[in-house]
Structure 1
Amino acid sequence: MKLTTTILAALLCAFSLAAVAQTQEKPVVKLLPSNKGYLKVLYVGQRPVKDVEVVFYSADRIIKKDKIRGKKIDGGFLKQYDLSKVPPGNYWVEISTEDVITKYKFTTYEEQPLWVSWWDHFKSERKVIASK
């Protein structure tokens, strides 16, 4: 009888943990390339959807702040931000809900599109063949 009770308790704990783990998935947040001076934020979130705050800032000031209400998000969003007036330099973008904060560093240049540091390790899936 003790063994049966112990096994049932262990199974109940295992199923409870699995159910909680499925409901607590972290949102996916990525920055995508866009036109010169623009940056796209892709957010695929949790359900129920909570408010998402997007903040662009430098070492000394906040540049742009945006709050997207959870009611307007149906599991995620893709939004483009105009950063063309931002002077060249290093900046950060922070995408946060009440549960999770994701932060990326990006750099703006005078004559080039901005660059996000996580793109450094991205490899294209396409094979390029050059011939003369």
Structure 2
Amino acid sequence: MYKQKTRENNLSVIEFIESVESIKKREDAYTLLDIFAQTTGYEAKMWGSSIIGFGSYRYKYASGHEGDAPLVGFSPRKAKFSLYFSLEETKREALLQDLGKHTSGKSCVYINKLADIHVEVLKALIMESVSFLDQTTVRK
């Protein structure tokens, strides 16, 4: 049976951020921590060893695979920040057009630094993701 690797745990968010080598990336991580916490109203929790998540929901795929995931989150990766959102595709694409310098995957948005993006658009992405998951999933 599949065991989910990225699960909420009791590792310290602050210790994780402090382990980030780049001082600038660490500063941006603290700013993102504040933005995500204030926008969602949720306390930051570590998910796995490298994702800072806010809130949680239960998902279940048609295949029967199910698990828990953060509503939104981010990770200060070595190369770029990974931002995690789940929202309706049309809204996602519209907001991403105004976000600023980024690249994106299915549920990840990648940025080099916070100065490259518009914080108000980031907040809108966070709020839309939480709202979308409130409407479409079972919350933990």
Q: TM-score range by the shorter chain?
A: under 0.3
TM-score normalised to structure 1 length: 0.25
Of Structure 1 and Structure 2, which has the larger fraction of its residues in helix? 2
Which of the two has higher C-alpha Rg? 1
TM-score normalised to structure 2 length: 0.24
Of Structure 1 and Structure 2, which has the larger fraction of its residues in strand? 1
